Amino acid sequence: MHIKTSSLLSVLLVVAAGVLLPSASTFAAKQAAGKNTASKAPAAKKAVSGKKAVPSKKATLAANALPPLAAEVALAGNAPALPAKAWLLMDYDSGQVLAGANVDEALPPASLTKMMTSYIVEQALRTGKLKPTDLVTVSENAWCRGTSAESCMYLPLNSQATVMDILRGIIVQSGNDASKAIAEHMAGSEAGFAKLMNAEAQRLGMTQTNFVNPTGLPDPAHKSSAKDLAILARAIIRDGAEFYPIYAEREFKYNGIKQGNRNALLYTDPSVDGLKTGHTSEAGYCLVTSAKRNEMRLISVILNTHSAQARADLTRELLNWGYSQFEKVTPIQPSAVVANAKVSFGKTDAVAAVLGAPWMLTMPRGQSVQTQFELKPGLEAPIAKGAVIGKVVATANGKPVGETLLVAQAEVERSGWLLLAWQKVTHLLGK
């Protein structure tokens, strides 16, 4: 009996072992698999971290930046080199280029074009050709369909807007629809308005400019230069003082849609009061800016840089350089008598020559200025008070840096007939 029991137990042990062994081997396999997975995990992690990183937007913009463009002209030292296709700094009062590179290269101006569009509207308002309350109709051609490909004022199709709302839509919101609508209102078509734009550009001395449309939308023939755009900015400030504050407005709301001015410097630099931004793929990011600190107004132009942030930063750098390197100089005080001009056949034989208007020059800091006057020869009475009788020229380091007119401080009446006869005799004898 004992022997049988032992045999039975052996059989049971064998069966149990047969059942348990597969489970053990399975567990061992799982353990081995776990070890393999664990050993491979760092390698997998390494593989993930080794994937090509997606560059940030900032890195992409920096990679697209042009190499720094050094100044080709600079009237003071340490002029910056700026990563743009063209740049310029101009003194507003004289129109003198203080520094710049590629200033005459014809480039696509993008929405900087709208400075000419707004300038023509402003001059038409000044002369009475347009009234602020005139209504402008929005045609299907002018109507903006709301795509992200262009900037819009969002004028409804077939609606009407006042000229002043249109002007703000052009300047503050950079509306292509507003620009097209006013072009059609004033000239019948965009092409007709472009003729007005080019005639005005020629009158202002913009020699490298050709406009094809009022918006700046890309066209191979649509070009302008940094210097030409600075000339235009100067004209806007000079000829439209009553409208120029619009260029400093930070936002404009129309048709329930409020849009901010794209000129970032208006929000960060209290000395900046205009003018216009521009951007297309071909033109890059562009900015024309004017700033006034104390008595000095400067105009800057940045054409085709790589981002909206860059155009603001480069403008800030250029303006800060200008204000640190230049100062306003008064060569002659407004009340000073520059010379006494000899006058023939008058009740007096001389008249004081004075400045026709206050005269200031923008000069490199610490540079001395010399002046020399030139009077008109053979002055004869009568001479009216304020009549131009000469000029005064300023030089620095032997080079002309500016000039202004001299005028008669007082009226000089012509002599009576008896005195006049005597003066003529002595004049002849004197010869």
- Distance, in Å, from the CA atom of 318 to the CA atom of 301, rounded to the nearest integer, reads 9
In a domain, 10, yes or no: no
Known catalytic residues are: 111, 114, 174
- Determine what percent of the chain is predicted with pLDDT higher than 90: 75
Q: What is the pLDDT of residue 416?
A: 66
In a domain, 56, yes or no: no
Residues 151 and 285 in one domain: yes
Residues 230 and 122 in one domain: yes
Q: What is the pLDDT of residue 335?
A: 87
CATH classification of the domain holding 261: 3.40.710.10
> What is the mean pLDDT of the segment spanning 226-245?
97
Helix (H) or strand (E) segment spanning residue 208:
none
Q: What is the pLDDT of residue 7?
A: 39
Average pLDDT value over all residues in the chain? 86
In a domain, 48, yes or no: no
> What is the mean pLDDT of the segment spanning 211-231?
98
Residues 368 and 320 in one domain: no
Tokens of 73: 């002209």
- In this prediction the pTM is 0.80
pLDDT tens-digit map of 94-108: 999 999 999 999 999
In this structure, of 92-101, 355-364, 367-376, 421-430, the range with the lowest mean pLDDT score is 421-430
In a domain, 332, yes or no: no
Greater confidence (89 vs 54) lies with 89
Instruction: Return the residue matching tokens 């009996």.
Output: 1
Tell me if 392 sits within 8 A of 372, measured CB to CB: yes
> Which residue, 243, 298, 232, 270, is CA-closest to 93?
298
Residues 263 and 389 in one domain: no
Tokens of 83: 């990563």
Q: What is the pLDDT of residue 60?
A: 52
- Distance, in Å, from the CA atom of 78 to the CA atom of 267, rounded to the nearest integer, reads 28
In a domain, 104, yes or no: yes
Q: What is the pLDDT of residue 44?
A: 38
pLDDT tens-digit map of 236-264: 999 999 999 999 999 999 999 999 999 99
Q: What is the pLDDT of residue 30?
A: 36
Exposure letters 125-161 (e unless 16+ CB within 10 A, then b): beeeebeeebebebeeebbbeeeeebbbbbbeeeeeb
- Distance, in Å, from the CA atom of 417 to the CA atom of 303, rounded to the nearest integer, reads 66
Residues 281 and 203 in one domain: yes
> What is the mean pLDDT of the segment spanning 392-417?
90
pLDDT tens-digit map of 142-194: 999 866 678 999 999 999 999 999 999 999 999 999 999 999 999 999 999 99
Tokens of 347: 């009740």
> What is the mean pLDDT of the segment spanning 192-209?
98
Question: Is it the case that residue 212 has pLDDT exceeding 50?
Answer: yes
> Which of 286, 302, 326 marks a domain boundary?
326
Residues 209 and 253 in one domain: yes
> Which of 326, 347, 382 marks a domain boundary?
326
Residues 313 and 380 in one domain: no
Residues 318 and 355 in one domain: no
Q: What is the pLDDT of residue 414?
A: 85
Torsional sign, CA 264, 270, 271, 275: positive
- Distance, in Å, from the CA atom of 396 to the CA atom of 29, rounded to the nearest integer, reads 93
Residues 296 and 370 in one domain: no
Domain ranges, residue 391: 337-430
Residues 217 and 314 in one domain: yes
Number of separate domains in the chain: 2
- Distance, in Å, from the CA atom of 362 to the CA atom of 89, rounded to the nearest integer, reads 12
Reduced 3-state DSSP string for the chain: CHHHHHHHHHHHHHHHHHHHHHHHHHHHHHHHHHHHHHHHHHHHHHHHHCCCCCCCHHHHHHHCCCCCECCCEECCCCCCCECCCEEEEEECCCCCEEEEECCCCCECCHHHHHHHHHHHHHHHHHHCCCCCCCEEECCCCCCCCCCCCCCCCCCCCCCEEEHHHHHHHHHCCCCHHHHHHHHHHHHCCHHHHHHHHHHHHHHHCCCCCECCCCCCCCCCCCEECHHHHHHHHHHHHHHCCCCHHHHHCCEEEECCEEEECCCCHHHHCCCEEEEEEEEECCCEEEEEEEEEECCEEEEEEEEEECCHHHHHHHHHHHHHHHHHHEEEECCCCCCCEEEEEECECECCCEEEEEECCCCCEEEECCCCCEEEEEECCCCECCECCCCEEEEEEEEECCEEEEEEEEEECCCECECCHHHHHHHHHHHHHHC
In a domain, 22, yes or no: no
Residues 213 and 242 in one domain: yes
pLDDT tens-digit map of 51-79: 445 555 555 555 567 899 999 999 999 99
> Which of 304, 326, 348 marks a domain boundary?
326
**Please, which pLDDT band fits residue 346 given cuts at 50, 70 and 90?**
confident
Tell me if 369 sits within 8 A of 401, measured CB to CB: yes
Question: Is it the case that residue 86 has pLDDT exceeding 80?
Answer: yes
Question: Is it the case that residue 281 has pLDDT exceeding 70?
Answer: yes
Tell me if 131 sits within 8 A of 140, measured CB to CB: no
DSSP three-state, residue 121: helix
CATH classification of the domain holding 365: 2.60.410.10
Tell me if 353 sits within 8 A of 390, measured CB to CB: yes
In a domain, 233, yes or no: yes
Tokens of 13: 């042990």
Q: Supply angle C-alpha 277, 283, 286, rounded to 5.
A: 25
Q: What is the pLDDT of residue 344?
A: 87
**Please, which pLDDT band fits residue 424 given cuts at 50, 70 and 90?**
low
DSSP three-state, residue 232: helix
- Distance, in Å, from the CA atom of 159 to the CA atom of 146, rounded to the nearest integer, reads 16
Q: What is the pLDDT of residue 147?
A: 67
- Distance, in Å, from the CA atom of 203 to the CA atom of 199, rounded to the nearest integer, reads 6
Residues 191 and 101 in one domain: yes
In a domain, 232, yes or no: yes
Q: What is the pLDDT of residue 199?
A: 98
Helix (H) or strand (E) segment spanning residue 92:
none
